[in-house]
Amino acid sequence: MITVRFTLFGGVSARTGDRTTEFGPTRPGALLGALLADAGQVVSAEELVDRVLGDAPPPRARAMIQTWLTRLRQTLPGLIERDRDGYVVRVDPLEVDLHLFRHLVEEGRTAEALPLVQGDLLSTVNTSWARQRRADFADELLAARLGHVDERLAGGEHADLVPELHALAAERPLDERIAAQLIEALHGSGRAAEALRHFKVVRARLADELGAEPSRHLATLHRRLQAASAPRQLPAAPKPFTGRALELAELDQAPTGVVVITGTGGVGKTSLAVHWAHQAAERFPDGQLYVNLHGFGPSGAAVSPGDALLRFLSALDVPRAQVPHDLAGQSALLRDALADKRVLMVLDNATDTEQIEPLLPRTPNTHVVITSRTALRPAHAKALPLGLLPPDDARELLASRIGHDRARAEPDAVDTVVRRCARLPLALAVAGARAATQPEFPLAALADELADLDAFADDDDVTADLRSVFSHSCKALSPAALRLFRLLGLIPGSDISLAGAASLAGLAQHETAALLAELARANLIDEPEPGRFTCHDLLRDYAAELALDSERDEALNRFLDHLALTGVEAGVVYTPSRHRPSTPDPAPGVVVGRFGTHEEALAWLMTEHPALMAAMPHGTAAQTWLMGWSLADALDRQARYRDLLTSQQLAAAAVQRLDDVDALGRTLINLGRSLSRTGRPDEATAALRRAFDIYDGNPAGQAEVLLNIAMLCPDDRIGEAMEHTRRGLALFEQCGDEYGQANALTGLAWGHGKLGEYARTVEYAERAMRMWRAMDHLIGQAEAWDNLGTGHLGLGDHVKAVEAFTLSSEMFRLGGDLKLEAGACEQLGDAHAAAGAAEQARQAWQKAVELRTRAGLPADHVRAKLQAEGE
C-alpha cells in the first residue's frame, strides 16, 4: 500500500514516494488543508465554506466546495469521504506534519518535533479561520521551543543556546520566561556580567512599558546569579595558621571602615589578613576584593593605583567602556560600583598613602584591610600593629610544620629554633620546611646549624638577619635548585611563568618544573595560581644577593628575550593584519611561546602585561621596542591607556637607538595613538608627522600615518580627514598594498556619508567590499555593508538599506564587536522606520539598546527613538 504524507507547514502538499504535489495558494489546496487540520474528524459543509472562503462567501459557495472536492478526489483517490452532513479525510494523523509534531511533543521528543515546522501553518490560506489557527499554533510552538530550551539548559548547552535566545528575546522583549532562560544561558556560558545586565534591561523595560516588577522566578534567578557572580579574589587561606587570637578578635570587632595592619617584614601581616578575610567572608556576600600591591618588591613591580582600580572594576563586572581614563574618575566609579554592596577589600603590601588613597571607596558597607611595613595613616583608619609571635604560638607554628610528635620529642630544640628564628613566621616557615624535608635528622642538629643567630632575637631590626635562616635552608637545596633560586631574584616583575623561569635558567621546561617544585617544598617560593610562581620580597632580595656576577647578564637577557619574542608571537596572532616586525634569533635556552587562537594570545598578553611593563626599562633597545610593539594593540583595546602611553614612550626611546627606520615609524604611530587616547591631540599629531617624515621614500608607511592623522580629526574637520585619507589611498595604490587600500576606501565611504554625499558613499563602499571579500576579511566586510546601508538610506532606497544594515549587524556580531553591532542595529531601525515598518524598527532599536547596555555605552538617544515611535 502506498503511503501519502502531508504537510501543512509552509503550504499544503502531498508526497507519495519521490513525488510531491504542491497545492500552493489554490482553493483545492485550502480545502485539503481545512480537512487535514482535523484529520480523521468530520468537518461539516458549512464549516468547510467558512474555512476555505472566509466570513463572506459567494452565493454558490456550497457548489464551489463540491467542485473542488471532486478535483481533490481525482488527484488523491480514496482520501476524502462523505460522512453524514460533512466530509472526512481518511488518513493516519501521524502522516500529517502538524499531528506528528503534536504527538512527538506529547511523548517528550521535542527535539524530533521542532524540525518538522518548516514555515507558518497553512501559510497559503488567508481566511480568518486559518489566521486564528496560525496564531494558536504559534503559542503552541513557542511553548514547545521553550520547553526544549529548558531541557537543553539542564543538559549544559548554555553557550549554544545564547544566539537563539537573543533572537527570541528580541522578538518577545517582555516575555519573562525567555528573559530568564537567556540570563541562565549567558551565566552558564561564562558571561555573568552580560546576564546581570540583561536582567537590568528587562527590569527597566517591564517598568517602562507595563509598570510592573520582575516575576518572583526572575527576581530569584537574579539574586542567585548575583551571589554566584560576586568577586572572590582572596588567595588561598594560609595553612597552617597559628595564634594571633587577640588580633583576630580586634579585626572581628572593628566597625566597617579601614584597618591598617603594620609590622616588620616576615611577621605574618598577609597571613593574618587573608586568614581573617576567609573567616569573615560570609559577612560580605557581595564579594571579596584582593590585590597585592607589591609595595616592597623589586623596582618596577609595585602595582599602580590605576592598575589596581582597573582590576577591581573588572572583577565587579563594570564594562570597560564605562571606565574613565583618569584616576579620579576611576576612583569615583569604584565608589559607585560599591555604593549598595557589602564587600571586603584587602590591600596587601602597600607602600604609602598615595598608593592606597584612590582605592579607598569610603562607602558604608565596604570594609578595607590594609597591610604595610609602613605606619600608614589614612583618615579614620584603625591601626593594628603586629608584633612577633608569642612564644607558645611560635612553637605551635613550628610543630605544625615538622610534626607534633617530633616537636614533643625534642622540646629544647624547638625552643632553640624558635628563639633563633626570632619568632618570625616567615623564618619559622622556611626553617620548618628544611626540617620537614629531612625527618631522619635530629631537630637539635637544625638548632645547632642556627647557632650563629643568638644575637638575632635582641636585634632591633630582626629582618636584617633573616638571610641567615634563608642561608640555612639554601644549604639543603640541590645545586640546580639553588642556581634557579638565585636567578629568580633577578626578574624585574613580581612573578614568573614556567616558560619564563625555564628561559631564565636556560633549561628545558620539565627540568625547570622539577626545580620549582623543590623550591616550593623548601618554602622559598609560592605558586599562587597554576603555572605562576612568586616569593616573599625578603626572599627575593636575598636571592638577588646570592646571584653570581658571571650569570646575571646572560640569565636576565634570556628572560627578556622570552618576553619580547613570545610577545611578538602573541601580538601577531592577536592582530593578524599587523605587519610582523623582524626579530633576532633567540639566545640559546630561550623558550618562545606559540599561540593558536586570538583568545590564547590575548590571555598571555594580559597575564604578562605587568611583567612586560616592569621588564621594558631593563631590556636592550631591540627587546624594549618589541615588547612595546607587542603590547600596543592589546592595551589599546583593553583601554589601558596610561600603560599604553608609558609602553610606547619607552619603546620610542629605545627604537631610536636602533638603525631601523620602519620600527621607528611604527613606534611613533603607536605613540601617536596612545597620546590621542590620553587627550593629548597636539602631541599625537606631532608624533605622527614625525613618523611621516621618517617614512620618506616608503609610501605604505606614509599612507598608514595619513590614515592615523585622519582619525584625529573631529567631526567639524571631516573635509581635512578626507584629504588625508585620499592621499593615503593614492600612496597605498602606488605600492600595491591592498589591505591599506581597502582601509582607505572604507574611510572615504564613511566620510562621504558624514558629508551627506550618499552616491559617493555607495561607490567607495562597493569598491572596498570587493577588496574585503577577496581577503575574506569579516570586519572589513561588515564596515563596507554599514557604509552601504548609510548610502542607500540617504538615497531613499529603504529595501537595500535594510538588507545592508542586517548583514552588517550580523557580521559585527560574528566578529564580536558589540559597539559596532549596536550602531548597525540602530541604523537598521532607522531604515525600517523610514520604510514605515514601525514594528521592525522598534525591534531593531530595542536590540541596539540591549547591545549598548551590554557594552557599557549610553543608550538614551536610542530609547528616545523608541519612545517617539510609541507616541
Does the pLDDT of residue 120 top 80, yes or no? yes
Cα–Cα distance measured from residue 139 to residue 275, given in angstroms and rounded to the nearest whole number? 55
The CA-to-CA distance between both ends of the chain, in Å, stands at 62
Residue pair 581/644 in contact by the 8 Å Cβ criterion: no
Tell me what percent of the residues of the chain surpass a pLDDT of 70: 95
Question: C-alpha cell of 136?
Answer: 494558536
Three-class SS state of 387: coil
Cα–Cα distance measured from residue 676 to residue 119, given in angstroms and rounded to the nearest whole number? 52
Stretch 632-643: mean pLDDT: 81
Does the pLDDT of residue 870 top 70, yes or no? no
Sheet holding 288-292, edge to edge: 288-292, 343-350, 366-372, 258-262, 381-385
Question: C-alpha cell of 330?
Answer: 576611576
**DSSP conformation class of 617:** G
CA of residue 759 relative to chain centroid, distance:
39
Question: Residue 200's pLDDT band (boundaries 50, 70, 90)?
Answer: confident
Cα–Cα distance measured from residue 432 to residue 415, given in angstroms and rounded to the nearest whole number? 13
Q: What is the pLDDT of residue 276?
A: 94
**What separation in angstroms does the CA of 714 have from each of 187, 641, 709?**
39, 20, 11
Average pLDDT taken over every residue of the chain = 86
- At which residue does the C-alpha cell 556619508 appear? 753
Q: Which residues of 354-391 are buried (b: 16+ CB within 10 A; e: fewer)?
A: ebbebbbbebebbbbbbbbbeebebeebeebebebbee
Phi first, then psi, for residue 341 (nearest 5°) are -120, 150
Per mean pLDDT, which range of 135-144, 147-156, 260-269, 451-460 is the poorest?
A: 451-460
Q: What is the pLDDT of residues 578-596, one digit of tens each?
A: 788 989 999 999 999 999 8
Amino acid at 854: R
Stretch 770-794: mean pLDDT: 90
Amino acid at 427: A
Stretch 601-620: mean pLDDT: 91
**What separation in angstroms does the CA of 256 have from each of 39, 156, 309?**
72, 40, 21
Question: C-alpha cell of 870?
Answer: 510609541
Q: Is the dihedral of CA 420, 426, 428, 430 positive or negative?
A: negative
Three-class SS state of 268: coil
Sheet holding 526-529, edge to edge: 496-497, 532-534, 526-529
Three-class SS state of 57: coil
- At which residue does the C-alpha cell 616583575 appear? 493
Three-class SS state of 508: coil
Phi first, then psi, for residue 420 (nearest 5°) are -75, -15
Q: Which residues pair with 542 in a beta bridge?
A: none
Phi first, then psi, for residue 419 (nearest 5°) are -65, -45
Q: What is the pLDDT of residues 751-760, one digit of tens each?
A: 999 899 999 9
621: exposed, middle or buried (Cβ count in 10 Å: 0-12, 13-18, 19+): middle
Question: C-alpha cell of 533?
Answer: 610562581
Question: Residue 566's pLDDT band (boundaries 50, 70, 90)?
Answer: very high
Q: What is the pLDDT of residues 54-108, one digit of tens each?
A: 877 888 888 888 888 888 888 888 888 888 778 888 888 899 999 999 999 998 8
Q: What is the pLDDT of residues 19-35, one digit of tens each?
A: 888 888 888 888 898 89
Question: Residue 815's pLDDT band (boundaries 50, 70, 90)?
Answer: low
Helix (H) or strand (E) holding 703: helix 699-712
Radius of gyration of the chain (CA): 36
CA of residue 775 relative to chain centroid, distance:
28
**DSSP conformation class of 865:** H
Cα–Cα distance measured from residue 67 to residue 60, given in angstroms and rounded to the nearest whole number? 11
Pick the closest to residue 233 from 337, 338, 346 (CA basis): 346
* 240 preceded by a cis bond (ω within 30 of 0): yes
Within 10 Å of residue 738's Cβ, how many Cβ atoms? 13
Pairing of strands 258-262, 80-83: unpaired
Phi first, then psi, for residue 870 (nearest 5°) are -65, -30
**DSSP conformation class of 588:** T
Q: What is the pLDDT of residues 277-313, one digit of tens each?
A: 999 988 898 889 999 998 876 666 788 898 899 889 8
Cα–Cα distance measured from residue 697 to residue 295, given in angstroms and rounded to the nearest whole number? 48
Q: What is the pLDDT of residues 364-389, one digit of tens each?
A: 889 999 999 888 888 888 889 988 88
**What separation in angstroms does the CA of 178 have from each of 117, 164, 171, 303, 506?**
20, 10, 10, 43, 56
The residue among 148 and 442 whose pLDDT is bigger is 148
Pairing of strands 43-44, 258-262: unpaired
The string of DSSP letters for 609-664 reads HHHHHHHGGGS-HHHHHHHHHHHHHHHHHTT-HHHHHHHHHHHHHHHTTSS-HHHH
Q: Which residues pair with 454 in a beta bridge?
A: none
Q: Which residues pair with 289 in a beta bridge?
A: 345
Does the pLDDT of residue 748 top 90, yes or no? yes
Cα–Cα distance measured from residue 822 to residue 852, given in angstroms and rounded to the nearest whole number? 6
Residue pair 359/366 in contact by the 8 Å Cβ criterion: no
Cα–Cα distance measured from residue 830 to residue 838, given in angstroms and rounded to the nearest whole number? 10
Q: What is the pLDDT of residue 690?
A: 93
Q: What is the pLDDT of residues 215-270, one digit of tens each?
A: 888 888 877 777 667 788 898 888 888 888 899 999 998 888 899 998 888 888 88
Cα–Cα distance measured from residue 485 to residue 516, given in angstroms and rounded to the nearest whole number? 9
Q: In the chain, what's the furthest Cα-to-Cα distance?
A: 120
Residue pair 113/105 in contact by the 8 Å Cβ criterion: yes
Cα–Cα distance measured from residue 120 to residue 133, given in angstroms and rounded to the nearest whole number? 10
Pick the closest to residue 578 from 667, 512, 516 (CA basis): 667
Q: What is the pLDDT of residue 11?
A: 85
Three-class SS state of 21: strand
Pick the closest to residue 528 from 520, 538, 537 (CA basis): 520
Q: What is the pLDDT of residues 417-460, one digit of tens each?
A: 888 787 888 888 888 887 877 777 788 877 777 665 443 334 44
The residue among 697 and 498 whose pLDDT is bigger is 498
